[in-house]
């Protein structure tokens, strides 16, 4: 079963299918069952069927609302009173802030300095205390851990927690319920790996022949390097337009799961992500952020890999700055 404070250290084998089903029950009336929509335009490109999972229409406009709630309701009354710390470049912070407001839990959010302004404002509007620290999440984590240690607060990890993974994995259960027959492949953006680990574990239990593909930006390919020995000599700027999947320190728990469930990770260029944002706006009339569009970027850059297949792509978020939408157009 899912670990709590009285159980031994987590091993991915402890996360069972029943844990994902329990998380799904706990989320009834809290989060949305997001649509799974056939894309005629993308389907024609691969001469197959492409379904888009509209997780960007979730409350707080990303899948993060699922795992954040499952983790927060596990806290004791004492832990809730002391408050929580979220370390995030935006979507996880927004999800934690949203649920904390409803659950009356004080929340401090630690963000990298270059977090998009729209994501910062969203957290502020939800009552979170914002602290900026570091150029990327790894540096923000150091500050967040310091704050939590000094104030006795609980860190709500964005991905490396079995409860978070269980919540994110409910996307996979919805896929199974909505499509009913096994897909050939599912394409999932990867940062720390919580979403892909959750969906991957669920689908491998019910659709064992379904290929699970991750997607990362060329500027943040850490999981691809760890699991698939991806290498590049190209310069790697500190900033990516897919900041939602820019994680310098992938999860330990998530790695355990992903090494078993992933077929491969596509590493996509920044330009291809911009094109995917543009494509979704023009052809699907859907607004997505860089991370949210990365799965479509992988398809557009690797059409041959999906020829004639029946696939789903997770559109994981839509918290994008209006000025950047204009740039993509």
pLDDT interval class at 118 (50, 70, 90): confident
Top CATH class, 65-159: alpha beta
pLDDT digits (tens, 9 = 90+) for 258-289: 999 999 999 999 999 999 999 999 999 999 99
Domain boundaries, the chain: 14-62+163-328, 65-159
Give the mean model confidence (pLDDT) for residues 44-62: 97
Q: What percent of the chain has pLDDT over 90?
A: 80
pLDDT at 13: 46
Structure tokens at 230: 């991806």
Mean pLDDT of 304-317: 97
Confidence of residue 325 (pLDDT cuts 50, 70, 90): confident
Section 223-229 average pLDDT? 94
The fraction of the chain above a pLDDT of 70, given in percent, is 95
Predicted local confidence at residue 244, as pLDDT:
83
pLDDT of residue 324: 74
User: What topology is assigned to 14-62+163-328 in CATH?
Assistant: Rossmann fold (3.40.50)
pLDDT digits (tens, 9 = 90+) for 122-160: 999 999 999 999 987 788 999 999 999 999 999 999 999
Tell whether the model's pLDDT for residue 162 goes beyond 70: yes
Per-residue confidence (pLDDT) for residue 241, from 0 to 100 = 86
Which residue carries 């494509």 as its tokens? 279
8 A C-beta contact, residue 288 and residue 318: yes
Q: What is the mean pLDDT of residues 189-193?
A: 95
**How far does the chain reach from its first CA to its final CA, in angstroms?**
47
Mean pLDDT of 14-30: 95
**Weakest mean pLDDT among 7-16, 219-228, 237-246, 306-315:** 7-16
Common-topology check for domains 14-62+163-328 and 65-159: yes
How confident is the model at residue 5, as a pLDDT? 40
Say which residue the tokens 């090494």 belong to: 259
- The SS3 of residue 95 is helix
DSSP code of 208?
Answer: T
pLDDT over 90 (residue 53): yes
Alpha-helix runs per DSSP H in 73-187: 77-82, 91-103, 117-125, 137-151, 162-168, 170-179
Q: Residue 319's pLDDT is what?
A: 86
């Amino acid at each position: 079963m899912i670990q709590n404070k009285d159980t031994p250290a987590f091993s991915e084998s402890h996360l069972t299918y029943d844990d994902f089903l329990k998380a799904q029950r706990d989320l009834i009336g809290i989060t949305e069952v997001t649509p799974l929509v056939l894309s005629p335009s993308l389907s024609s490109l691969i001469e197959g069927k492409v379904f888009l999972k509209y997780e960007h229409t979730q409350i707080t406009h990303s899948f993060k609302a699922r795992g954040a709630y499952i983790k927060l309701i596990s806290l004791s009354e004492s832990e809730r009173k002391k408050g929580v710390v979220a370390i995030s470049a935006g979507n996880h912070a927004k999800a934690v802030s949203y649920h904390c407001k409803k659950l009356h839990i004080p929340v401090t959010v630690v963000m990298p300095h270059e977090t998009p302004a729209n994501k910062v404002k969203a957290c502020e509007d939800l009552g979170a205390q914002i602290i900026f620290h570091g150029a990327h999440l790894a540096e923000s984590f150091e500050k967040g851990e310091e704050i939590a240690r000094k104030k006795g607060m609980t860190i709500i990890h964005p991905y490396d927690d079995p409860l978070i993974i269980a919540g994110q994995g409910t996307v996979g259960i919805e896929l199974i319920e909505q499509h009913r027959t096994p897909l050939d492949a599912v394409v999932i953006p990867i940062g720390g790996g919580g979403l892909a680990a959750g969906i991957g574990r669920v689908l491998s239990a019910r659709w064992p022949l379904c290929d699970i593909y991750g997607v990362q930006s060329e500027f943040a390919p850490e999981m691809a390097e760890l699991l698939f020995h991806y290498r590049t000599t190209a310069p790697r700027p500190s900033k990516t337009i897919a900041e939602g999947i820019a994680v310098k320190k992938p999860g330990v728990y998530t790695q355990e799961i992903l090494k078993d469930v992933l077929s491969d990770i596509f590493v996509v260029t920044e330009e291809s992500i911009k094109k995917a944002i543009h494509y979704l706006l023009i052809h699907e009339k859907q607004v997505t952020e860089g991370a949210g569009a990365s799965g479509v970027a992988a398809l557009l850059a690797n059409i041959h890999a999906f020829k004639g297949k029946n696939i789903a792509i997770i559109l994981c978020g839509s918290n994008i700055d209006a000025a950047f939408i204009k740039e993509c157009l």
